[in-house]
Structure formats: C-alpha cells, structure tokens
Chains A and B, each alone.
Chain A
Amino acid sequence: GNSVTQMEGPVTLSEEAFLTINCTYTATGYPSLFWYVQYPGEGLQLLLKATKADDKGSNKGFEATYRKETTSFHLEKGSVQVSDSAVYFCALNGRHDYQLIWGAGTKLIIKP
C-alpha cells in the first residue's frame, strides 16, 4: 500500500542555515503530495503541494519538487528563521479517495 517515510527529528539548525527535510514515498499511480506545518498547540496548515511529476510546490520560501524517479518530495528552504520552528508533515493521497497517508512528522528547531 501507499506509505510515506520522513527523516527523524528533531532537526536543529542555526538561523539562516539551509534546510532539507527528506520525504520518500511508495505509491501506485500518481498521487498528489503535500507538506503541512504544525506550530505548537495548533492544527496543521498546508504549506505546499504538488500534483504531478516534476511539479515544484513553493510557499513562504519553502520548496519541494515531486520526483517520480526517486519517489521523493524533499522540503527545502535556503535560509531558515526562528519562526520556522515547527513540526513538518509530509503526506500523500492514498489509493482510495478518502485516504491521506501521513509521515511521522519532523520537528524543526531553529536557534538564533
């Protein structure tokens, strides 16, 4: 079945560092891929998405490219800020319309 694997956290970086959070998936067909962000004590918010191979989703300086050949959707940001500290979830549509398959989440800590 469909599944998502994220790199384990926490990931700790200094402000202005380059960020990569790895996400790989297994899926049949061509599912849409998502990155969500969760700030402390809040619900999840969509950060970006991609619906087909080679699509690049981007938002708030974050980017992720749908790589069919490597089954990956890694999240990147060129220069992180303290305010980017949060938990990031990778997700994809499952085989059935109702399904959303979630990664385990990666906690990001940015130090000033």
Chain B
Amino acid sequence: DGGITQSPKYLFRKEGQNVTLSCEQNLNHDAMYWYRQDPGQGLRLIYYSQIVNDFQKGDIAEGYSVSREKKESFPLTVTSAQKNPTAFYLCASRRQGARAFFGQGTRLTVV
C-alpha cells in the first residue's frame, strides 16, 4: 500500500540531546513537510522540501534541521538548540497543488 510512515510513534529526549524523527513515503511525491503541533494548537511549518537535495525553512525552523538525500525520505533532527521540543510532530507529502498525505505523527517528550 502506498503511504507515508513516521517513526517512532513515541520518542523521549534527554536535555541536551539531539534526536532524529523519520519520515518515509512511497507515493512518489516531490514535496514533503514537517509540522509541529502543540496541545490544542494548529499546525506550524518547520521545514519543507520541494525536491531532492533542496529544502526551505518554515515559520519555526530554529533548533531543527532536515535533509533530503532521497525523494522518499525527509528526516527531521531536533537539536539541543530547540529549547522547548515537547510536541507532536507531523510529516506530510503531496504532489504539486494536490492534497496532502500525513503520517501518524511522532510524539516527542523531553525527560
């Protein structure tokens, strides 16, 4: 089945630690996105990528980094510079101008 997969579903990070969230899609979509969602809040764009080896900052990119070495993969690293990383992270992909497909999300908690 075609789809978009995020892993892990739950992730715990210690203070000062970098962690990487995985996002893989087999839909052959060019564009991929990372969003952050805080409790009771909407979606805020962290990074997006329209094509392999290219990505752009969204509205809240500070403390995060991404790579897009393959079309299928768009991992997000939450660095120690992100002071408040506890949130629900959503990855999405889409073809140009079409609907977005979302992963099931990763809930990151700082311990």
Contact = CB atoms under 8 A, between A and B. Distances in A.
Interface of A: 32, 34, 36, 41-46, 49, 89, 91, 93, 97-98, 100, 102-105, 107
Given A34-B99, A46-B99, A97-B96, A41 B42 contact: no
Nearest to B98: A32
Interface stretch (B12-20, B60-68, B76-84, B100-108): B100-108
A89 B105 contact: no
Contacts, number: 52
Interface of B: 6, 31, 33, 40-43, 48, 50, 56, 90, 92, 94, 96-105, 107
Given A42-B104, A42-B105, A43-B102, A98 B42 contact: no
Nearest to B106: A43
B105 A107 contact: no
29 contacts: A32-B97, A32-B98, A36-B100, A41-B107, A43-B90, A43-B102, A43-B103, A43-B105, A44-B102, A46-B100, A46-B101, A49-B99, A89-B42, A89-B43, A91-B100, A93-B97, A97-B31, A97-B96, A97-B97, A98-B31, A98-B48, A98-B56, A100-B33, A100-B92, A100-B94, A102-B43, A104-B41, A104-B42, A107-B40
